[in-house]
């Protein structure tokens, strides 16, 4: 498969996975292996360097890129502070901005997110913002220095699939940096759908973590993402809105030059 | 506006006829709904709903996995003092009760903190009796300064404060607030709070909202089950949570469901709340507000707590002592109430793992 380039790094896998919601950290290396994911996101608030058992960093293959997120941040200021703490804790310089001030739906606050990108990009972070799919805000994020854009498919944890399809398609068509569909993807078929649409990658957590066999589900998502990407590259046949009549309706015009 | 206006709307509501008119079909329809309104919530608290607890549990389990995954946050309480200027009929710390009164010095706080942090816990809940003169804000702030070195999340369960005072504690390092109304029924409230500043119903009722305004990250509320009809009290608790969450979207709300335990107090006019009742309250709350946390304390027995986990618990206390200095001192003071689950932190963690859940010791960073 063609490689994905984010912040100067080339990636073979277009499936990012999360580490929250698992029944135990022990399963993580197996899920990372079966999904072949190279970008692993985790909440800095959960990183516990004092406990080898709880220290999520011990479960993530050294070749993977850590994508700490700023979960818990309600505004730009808190997101920036968490990002800096993540870097200081040795999590590298990739950061997923989550600025969420709505505890009911967990919808991202684009305005605060843009402010955080502006600060962190100048500090040499590779910034990936989680966002509500809005074209103008996405453009502002690009201008502020985002390395990729992570629009939500549907509210986080809902497994409802890509309800924001039209908006995401607009971002895919109009934004020149990678688009990673984040949140809401509940089934491999929905991951394939995002990839067929032309998304550059997807991030999946709940759908894998809450399945009965997360290892097998990781593999299923890996395959779905590959299939979707290949379909996109092969260019899907165009969808026809009107059937082509076998006897053309305008055939009588032929020869009428 | 205050939650009091909301309380007044339902104060004289005819709960009996509402419950009588609730049918099995109503309950099943409610369970199948994506989003519940206040009356749906009340239906789930009805006697009719008792026949449908299994279906409610299945949905609650699903919602909980979706919102919180298979992880449970662990914390422990630390009693800083048991001085109290109130006379609550149901509590051992009641100013008139003849118990040993004690208050930790900052050195003792540090020793307690060191001992607790050996268990790996990163979340602490600090408690005092309600005496603003003996344990003023300045003392709480000094304690928080010490505790910050050991813990990532500090929650307070102390006397209600003004908004500015909450802000002061937040800048000192506090991030969460727990405050129970004890009983929402205003008449019973007046009866069981015999004397002291706690008699001020409104000041207590509005405390969680002042916490929200001061930008506390998370707020825990609850009523002391047993002081009045549990169905009505649970309804008011849920409404209170819903009110706060709708108005302050950025605060994470959680519920605690403490049942009254044996104590050195005198109040005996209790309304029984059995295990089935408690499960019903918990399930109704979860279906009504799936994004809210649910905290089950060590007032409940080990086996009961274990059985509740898949029903939507998000937070558990572990390694609990309700005495001042209970985590390190040999001459402990009297306890606030008797606890039932006496397991250590590691015992609770192991049992969670056995059940297929991940015990979470740390879920916050000081920012
Ligand atoms: S419940 Fe609280 S306020 Fe009432 S007597 Fe006990 S410690 Fe004091």
- Report, as ranges of residue numbers, the positions in chain B whose pLDDT lies below 50: none
Determine the distance in angstroms separating the CA of B66 from the nearest CA of chain A, rounded to an integer: 6
pLDDT for position A56? 80
Determine the distance in angstroms separating the CA of B37 from the nearest CA of chain A, rounded to an integer: 15
β-pair partners for B74: B316
Question: Looking at the partner chain, which of B69, B252, B363 has a beta carbon nearest the beta carbon of A103?
Answer: B252
Distance B111 CA to ligand 1 centre (A): 25
CA A240 to chain centre: 30
Q: What is the pLDDT of residues A172-206, one digit of tens each?
A: 988 999 999 998 899 999 999 999 999 999 999 98
Residues from chain A that touch B349, judged by Cβ atoms under 8 A, are none
Helices (H), chain B: 3-11, 15-20, 24-32, 38-44, 53-68, 106-117, 137-147, 163-172, 186-192, 201-205, 207-213, 230-247, 275-288, 302-308, 345-354
Distance B126 CA to ligand 1 centre (A): 15
| Interface pTM, i.e. ipTM | 0.78
Q: What atom of ligand 1 comes closest to residue B196's alpha carbon?
A: 3
Please check whether residue B136 touches A, CB under 8 A: no
Region A138-150 average pLDDT: 96
pLDDT for position B268? 63
B360·A157 Cβ contact <8 A:
no
Tokens of B161: 């404060």
pLDDT for position B279? 95
Q: Which residue of B has its CA nearest to A20?
A: B69
Determine the distance in angstroms separating the CA of A77 from the nearest CA of chain B, rounded to an integer: 9
Work out whether strand B358-360 and strand B315-317 pair parallel, antiparallel, or are unpaired: unpaired
Please check whether residue A157 touches B, CB under 8 A: yes
Region A16-27 average pLDDT: 86
Distance B210 CA to ligand 1 centre (A): 20
pLDDT for position A243? 63
* Ligand 1 proximal residues by C-beta, below 6 Å: B 84, 86, 88, 91, 93-94, 129-130, 198
Nearest one of B154, B160, B62, B88 to B117, comparing CA atoms = B154
Residues from chain A that touch B362, judged by Cβ atoms under 8 A, are 45-48, 51, 54
Distance B187 CA to ligand 1 centre (A): 18
Q: What is the pLDDT of residues B178-198, one digit of tens each?
A: 999 999 999 999 999 999 999
For ligand 1, pick from B77, B92, B93 the residue to mutate: most ligand atoms within 8 Å of CB.
Answer: B93
Determine the distance in angstroms separating the CA of B257 from the nearest CA of chain A, rounded to an integer: 21
Residues of chain A with pLDDT > 90, as a percent, come to 63
Question: Looking at the partner chain, which of B69, B71, B250 has a beta carbon nearest the beta carbon of A103?
Answer: B250
Please check whether residue B271 touches A, CB under 8 A: no
A96 tagged catalytic? yes
Give the strand order in the sheet containing A201-204. A150-151, A126-131, A94-97, A65-69, A39-43, A15-18, A201-204, A180-182
For chain A, what is the mean pLDDT? Answer: 89
Tokens of A126: 């590779």
The model carries a pTM of: 0.88
A59 vs A37: CA distance, rounded Å = 13
pLDDT for position B332? 55
Work out whether strand B293-296 and strand B315-317 pair parallel, antiparallel, or are unpaired: parallel
Residues from chain B that touch A210, judged by Cβ atoms under 8 A, are 65-66, 69-70
Interface A–B counts its CB contacts (< 8 A) at 84
Question: Which residues 95-154 on chain A approach chain B with CB closer than 8 angstroms?
Answer: 101-104, 106
CA B363 to chain centre: 18
A110-122 vs A76-88: helix axis angle to the nearest 10?
A: 40
Give the Å distances, CA to CA, from A175 to A109, A137, A141, A169, A179: 19, 11, 10, 10, 8
Confidence of residue A157 (pLDDT cuts 50, 70, 90): confident
User: A256 pLDDT exceeds 60?
Assistant: no
pLDDT for position A158? 76
Confidence of residue A249 (pLDDT cuts 50, 70, 90): confident
Q: What is the pLDDT of residues A108-129, one digit of tens each?
A: 999 999 999 999 999 999 999 9
Region A87-109 average pLDDT: 92
How deeply is A88 buried, as exposed, middle or buried, from its count of CB atoms within 10 A (0-12, 13-18, 19+)? Answer: exposed
For ligand 1, pick from B89, B135, B198, B258 the residue to mutate: most ligand atoms within 8 Å of CB.
Answer: B198
User: What is the torsion angle, in degrees rounded to the nearest 10, for the CA atoms of residue B362, residue A103, residue A77 and residue B206?
Assistant: -90
Please check whether residue B364 touches A, CB under 8 A: yes
Tokens of A221: 């998502």
Give the Å distances, CA to CA, from B21 to B5, B17, B287: 26, 6, 21
Distance B230 CA to ligand 1 centre (A): 21
Q: Return the number of other C-beta atoms located less than 10 Å from residue B9's C-beta.
A: 11
Of residues A25 and A133, the one with the higher pLDDT is A133
Distance B234 CA to ligand 1 centre (A): 21
Please check whether residue A211 touches B, CB under 8 A: no
Of A96, A122, A230, A241, catalytic: A96
Contact A130, A178 (CB under 8 A): no
Q: What is the pLDDT of residues A35-44, one digit of tens each?
A: 999 999 988 9
Q: Return the number of other C-beta atoms located less than 10 Å from residue A110's C-beta.
A: 20
Q: What atom of ligand 1 comes closest to residue B91's alpha carbon?
A: 6
């Amino acid at each position: 498969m063609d490689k994905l380039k984010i912040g100067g790094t080339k990636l073979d896998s277009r499936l990012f996975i999360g580490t929250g919601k698992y029944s135990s950290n022990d399963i993580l290396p197996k899920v990372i292996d079966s999904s072949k994911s190279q970008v692993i996101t985790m909440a800095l608030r959960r990183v516990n360097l004092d406990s080898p058992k709880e220290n999520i960093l011990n479960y993530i293959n050294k070749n993977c890129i850590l994508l700490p997120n700023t979960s818990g941040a309600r505004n730009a200021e808190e997101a920036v502070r968490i990002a800096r703490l993540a870097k200081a804790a040795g999590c590298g310089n990739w950061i997923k901005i989550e600025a969420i001030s709505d505890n009911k739906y967990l919808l991202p606050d684009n305005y605060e997110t843009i402010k955080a990108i502006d600060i962190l990009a100048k500090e040499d972070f590779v910034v990936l913002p989680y966002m509500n799919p809005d074209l103008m805000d996405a453009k502002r994020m690009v201008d502020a220095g985002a390395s990729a854009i992570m629009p939500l498919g549907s509210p986080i944890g809902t497994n409802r699939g890509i309800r924001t399809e039209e908006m995401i398609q607009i971002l895919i068509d109009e934004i020149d940096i990678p688009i990673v569909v984040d949140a809401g993807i509940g089934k491999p078929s929905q991951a394939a759908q995002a990839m067929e649409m032309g998304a550059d990658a997807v991030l999946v957590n709940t759908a894998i973590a809450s399945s009965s066999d997360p290892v097998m589900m990781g593999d299923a998502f890996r395959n779905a993402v590959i299939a979707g990407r290949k379909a996109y590259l092969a260019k899907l046949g165009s969808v026809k809105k009107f059937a082509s009549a076998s006897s053309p309706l305008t055939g009588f015009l032929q020869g009428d030059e | 506006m205050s939650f009091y206006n909301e309380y007044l709307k339902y104060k004289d509501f005819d709960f009996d006829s509402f419950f009588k008119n609730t049918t099995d079909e109503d309950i099943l329809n409610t369970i199948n709904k994506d989003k519940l309104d206040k009356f749906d919530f009340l239906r789930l608290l009805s006697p009719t709903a008792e026949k449908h607890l299994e279906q409610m549990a299945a949905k609650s389990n699903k919602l909980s996995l979706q919102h919180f995954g298979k992880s449970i946050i662990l914390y422990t309480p630390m009693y800083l003092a048991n001085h109290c200027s109130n006379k609550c009929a149901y509590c051992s710390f009641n100013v008139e009760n003849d118990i040993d009164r004690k208050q930790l010095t900052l050195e003792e706080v540090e020793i307690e903190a060191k001992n607790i942090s050996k268990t790996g816990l990163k979340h602490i809940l600090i408690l005092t009796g309600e005496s603003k003169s003996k344990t003023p804000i300045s003392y709480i702030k000094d304690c928080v300064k010490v505790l910050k070195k050991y813990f990532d999340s500090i929650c307070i369960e102390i006397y209600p404060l003004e908004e500015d005072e909450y802000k002061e504690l937040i800048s000192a390092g506090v991030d969460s607030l727990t405050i129970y109304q004890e009983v929402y029924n205003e008449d019973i409230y007046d009866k069981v709070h015999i004397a002291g500043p706690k008699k001020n119903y409104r000041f207590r009722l509005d405390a969680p909202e002042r916490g929200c305004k001061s930008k506390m990250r998370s707020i825990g509320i609850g009523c002391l089950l047993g002081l009045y009809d549990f169905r009505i009290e649970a309804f008011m608790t849920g409404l209170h949570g819903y009110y706060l969450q709708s108005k302050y979207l950025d605060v994470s709300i959680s519920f605690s469901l403490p049942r009254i335990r044996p104590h050195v107090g005198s109040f005996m006019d209790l309304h029984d709340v059995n295990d089935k009742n408690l499960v019903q309250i918990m399930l109704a709350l979860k279906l009504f507000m799936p994004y809210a946390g649910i905290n089950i304390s060590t007032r409940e027995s080990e086996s009961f707590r274990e059985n509740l986990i898949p029903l939507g618990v998000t937070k558990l206390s572990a390694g609990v002592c309700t005495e001042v200095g209970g985590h390190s001192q040999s001459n402990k003071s009297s306890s606030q109430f008797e606890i039932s689950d006496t397991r250590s932190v590691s015992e609770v963690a192991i049992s969670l793992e056995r059940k297929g859940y991940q015990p979470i010791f740390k879920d916050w960073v000081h920012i």
